[in-house]
Amino acid sequence: MPWIQLKLNATSANAEDIGELLMSNGALSATFTDAQDTPVFEPLPGETRLWGDTDITGLYEADADMQAIVEVLKKSPLLADDFAFKVEQLEDKDWEREWMDNFHPMQFGKRLWICPSWKPVPDENAVNVMLDPGLAFGTGTHPTTALCLAWLDGQDLQDKVVLDFGCGSGILAIAALKLGAKRVIGIDIDPQAITASRDNAERNNVSEQLELYLPADLPEGILADVLVANILAGPLRELSGSIEALVKPSGKLALSGILEQQADELIETYSQWFEMDAAQVKEEWARLSGQKCSKSQQ
């Protein structure tokens, strides 16, 4: 079925109210997009943080009377009589299928492949992670995930305990298990990430070795041989003391979600406890890695 979309521009102050105005006047959905290019990094679960300059797109059924709808919108105090808008016919497509068709198997490092769970694997003998990200972050297409996957592929994880701090879809946790880890602990602040990680672990037959926790439920006394955290520079800085304490002496660490220009400051922070390597960069994102000093206190 084809659709009609109405596009208009707003500010962060009135975007949500205008979205509600569209919804109460026939729109089936209201979508907010950045009119400039100002990334909003990682809002908290349930939080809608908008850009200063926001485009709003209302989606309507094909037979909606757009002229009448625009006349009603003009009467709202939220919009000027001559507000700028664009009405477009939206091509009919199977949108879910389109996304699925564009997600292909991808190789990381030498052994590891991330494969959409609905497509055949290219190499049966490779280390294959079958993935359906659901509503959580982590398909392997983002540079930060790709940098962490390539790092994990280069580690000897045989029989190791791995901690995935900010597990999202579970992509890193499951890759670690498939690369030989005996136990992986995944932590995330978002309950949807816990669900997606559990579903993906079952899909890969590794759910018995994967423990998943919201941060408040993490048992005491966990010490990992390897910790990987793909969150953001802010939380990596604020949580550095907690992250450090979860790694065994001589244990390994990889951090991402860091913009290239934030790398030096984080290297300095983590150098208190770890021998840090040079940052590896992909597009604008950096991955840091290091090994904990053997004399660090537990």
Ligand X SMILES: C[S@@+](CC[C@H](N)C(=O)[O-])C[C@H]1O[C@@H](n2cnc3c(N)ncnc32)[C@H](O)[C@@H]1O
Distances in Å between the Cα of 36 and the Cα atoms of 57, 67, 178 are 15, 28, 41
CA geometry: angle at 43 spanning 280 and 263, to 5°? 20
Rounded-to-5 percentages of helix, strand, coil across the chain: 30, 30, 40
DSSP string, 156-175: --TT-EEEEES-TTSHHHHH
Q: Where do contacts with ligand X occur on this chain (CB under 6 A)? A: 136-138, 144-145, 148, 164-168, 171-172, 187-190, 193, 215, 230-231, 235, 257
Q: Does the annotation flag 188 for ligand binding?
A: yes
For the CB of residue 283, give the shortest distance to ligand X in the complex, in Å: 14
The type of residue at 179 is L
Is 54 annotated to bind a ligand? Reply is: no
Least distance from ligand X to the Cβ atom of residue 169, Å: 6
Distance of CA 192 to the CA centre of its chain: 11
CB of 247 to ligand X, least distance (A): 16
Smaller CB separation from ligand X, 56 or 199: 199
Residue 269 is assigned to a ligand binding site: no
- Residue closer to ligand X by CB (options 22, 175) is 175
Q: Is 145 annotated as a binding residue?
A: yes
With a CB cutoff of 8 Å and minimum separation 6, the contacts of 241 are none
Instruction: State the minimum distance, in angstroms, from the CB of residue 298 to ligand X.
Output: 21
- Residue linked to tokens 């309950």: 191
The whole-angstrom separation of Cα 177 and Cα 157 is 8
Q: Is the CB of 57 or the CB of 200 nearer to ligand X?
A: 200
Question: How far apart are the C-alpha atoms of 71 and 53, rounded to whole Å?
Answer: 24
Question: Which contiguous run of DSSP H or E holds residue 178?
Answer: helix 171-178
Least distance to ligand X, CB of residue 124, Å: 25
Contact criterion met (CB below 8 Å) for 147 and 287: yes
56 versus 243: smaller Cβ distance to ligand X: 243
**Which is nearer to ligand X, 46 or 77 (by Cβ)?**
46
Binding site feature residues: 145, 166, 188, 230
Binding site feature residues for S-adenosyl-L-methionine: 145, 166, 188, 230
